[in-house]
Structure 1
Amino acid sequence: MSPAIHLAQQPEADELLGRSPLAALVGMLLDQQVPMEWAFSGPYTIATRMGHDGLDAHEIAARDPEAFAALLSEKPAVHRYPGSMAKRIQQLCRFLVDEYGGDAEAVWRDAASGKELLDRLEALPGFGKQKAQIFLALLGKQYGVGPEGWREAAGAYGEKDCYRSAADITGPESLAKVRAHKQEMKAAAKAAKASGAGSGSGSGSVSGSAKSTKNTGN
């Protein structure tokens, strides 16, 4: 049975995220510099415009890049930067075809540990450590993917009863809590930057705080 996902806050889009591992990966890839709901509704929009009820890594990888970019750019656009994100999605799908036979779920299906799964996720095009940890936490918390040590590998995003990222969104109430956390992190980063101006102190922590807010939407 597919998990009940509420990341897009749209029934059809969330249903696709629940049954399609590739849609979940693409949604996570898109979750950058746009509101989370916009990002995670992207896979459904792409599938619909391609005339399908799901996504296929082989088909996306083989699409003409300009045509695929145009598909994402149609109004309403799939992302604030549809052209660059179209390239990233195709890069991801080509990697999945080359390394996993186009089977997105194979990325985590037989992972023996949280560390191994994190390494696999970090190897995906467009997935840095933070995005990989958030997606690992999402898999563990909502998709029932729990190799030994997954919470530790996911870092702070794997903690129970926290509201840090997309991994913790189960409905409107939790979405509001994640947004509130993001605003707190932004405020803390701004304050740290102001207090450290000219002294050089705190620059590392400012960078880390700012980065920690990117994937929860604007």
Structure 2
Amino acid sequence: MTTIHLAQQPDADALLGRSPLAALIGMLLDQQIPMEWAFNGPHTIARRMGGDDLDAHAIAAYDPEAFAALVAEKPAVHRYPGSMAKRVQQLCRYLVDHYDGDAAAVWKGVATGKDLFARLNALPGYGTQKAQIFTALLGKQYGVTPEGWREAAGAYGEEGSFRSVADITGPESLAKVRATKQEAKQAAKAAKAAKKS
């Protein structure tokens, strides 16, 4: 089991460390909400489904309306519970159809970082950036290091960087990643303002 500190809550982080599906769902949910909230989501879903673990077959087969209600139940799993419930089910259906529901099979035995990135990029709800960040997360924290994984992860694969969830190993690195993101936002704002003037 891998020690993870993304949800910043022991039970939720323990699930992320032992469940590849939880890690994939956490990454999927990581948009337009704080990272800890996103990575707490898999644990909340598991609990509301009546267990300590997640099963792609069970989520894929769940009644969509009932699943949306489960995700929307307060406190909601995401700011946009309806659309994110759909995305989580799409991801699980894809895993069932392509990997027999085994999330780890997405990266098991991949020969190169390029292949790993391609497999992640093909997942519903994963675009280029998400696939790169998850490639970096697998390499930096889960020990999934096929040849060329850092290159495939782009800037997120750089050693010693504090750019994304891939670099968070505790409160100190979380603060550094937040600061980096804030700087990037301010630089983007300044660039936009400079263009207008």
Q: What's the TM-score, normalizing by structure 1?
A: 0.90
Dislocated runs of 4+, deviation >2 Å: none
Alignment match, 2:134:
135
CA apart distance, 1:145 = 0.3
CA apart distance, 1:197 = 1.8
CA apart distance, 1:56 = 0.3
Alignment match, 2:60:
61
Secondary structure of the equivalent of 1:109?
coil
In the alignment, residue 9 of structure 1 is paired with which amino acid?
A: Q
Secondary structure of the equivalent of 1:27?
helix
- Structure 1 gap segments, 5+ residues each: 199-218
Query: Aligned equivalents of 1:105 and 1:127: distance in 2?
Result: 16
Query: Aligned equivalents of 1:141 and 1:59: distance in 2?
Result: 30
User: What's the C-alpha RMSD, in Å, of the aligned pairs?
Assistant: 0.6
CA apart distance, 1:79 = 0.4
Alignment match, 2:41:
42
Q: How does 1:173-184 map to 2 (within 5 A)?
A: 173-184=172-183
* 1:159 and 2:162 aligned: no
* 1:10 and 2:9 aligned: yes
Query: Aligned equivalents of 2:100 and 2:196: distance in 1?
Result: 50
Query: Aligned equivalents of 1:132 and 1:61: distance in 2?
Result: 21
CA apart distance, 1:60 = 0.3
Q: Percent of counterpart pairs with the same letter? A: 77
Query: Aligned equivalents of 1:37 and 1:174: distance in 2?
Result: 13
Aligned length: 197
CA apart distance, 1:110 = 1.1
CA apart distance, 1:182 = 0.7
Higher-RCO chain (CA-CA 8 Å, sequence separation at least 6): 1
Alignment match, 1:201:
none
In the alignment, residue 104 of structure 1 is paired with which amino acid?
A: A
Query: Aligned equivalents of 2:50 and 2:167: distance in 1?
Result: 31
Query: Aligned equivalents of 1:189 and 1:159: distance in 2?
Result: 21
In the alignment, residue 80 of structure 1 is paired with which amino acid?
A: R
Query: Aligned equivalents of 1:41 and 1:110: distance in 2?
Result: 28
Query: Aligned equivalents of 1:129 and 1:176: distance in 2?
Result: 25
Query: Aligned equivalents of 1:28 and 1:163: distance in 2?
Result: 17
CA apart distance, 1:108 = 0.1
Alignment match, 1:215:
none
Q: What's the TM-score, normalizing by structure 2?
A: 0.99
Query: Aligned equivalents of 2:152 and 2:81: distance in 1?
Result: 31
Alignment match, 2:185:
186
Query: Aligned equivalents of 1:21 and 1:53: distance in 2?
Result: 14
Alignment match, 1:51:
50
* 1:23 and 2:36 aligned: no
Query: Aligned equivalents of 1:8 and 1:182: distance in 2?
Result: 18
Query: Aligned equivalents of 2:163 and 2:60: distance in 1?
Result: 32
CA apart distance, 1:30 = 0.3
Alignment match, 1:117:
116
Alignment match, 1:204:
none
- Structure 2 gap segments, 5+ residues each: none
Query: Aligned equivalents of 1:3 and 1:21: distance in 2?
Result: 10
Alignment match, 1:75:
74
Query: Aligned equivalents of 1:188 and 1:137: distance in 2?
Result: 24
Secondary structure of the equivalent of 1:162?
coil
Query: Aligned equivalents of 1:73 and 1:125: distance in 2?
Result: 20
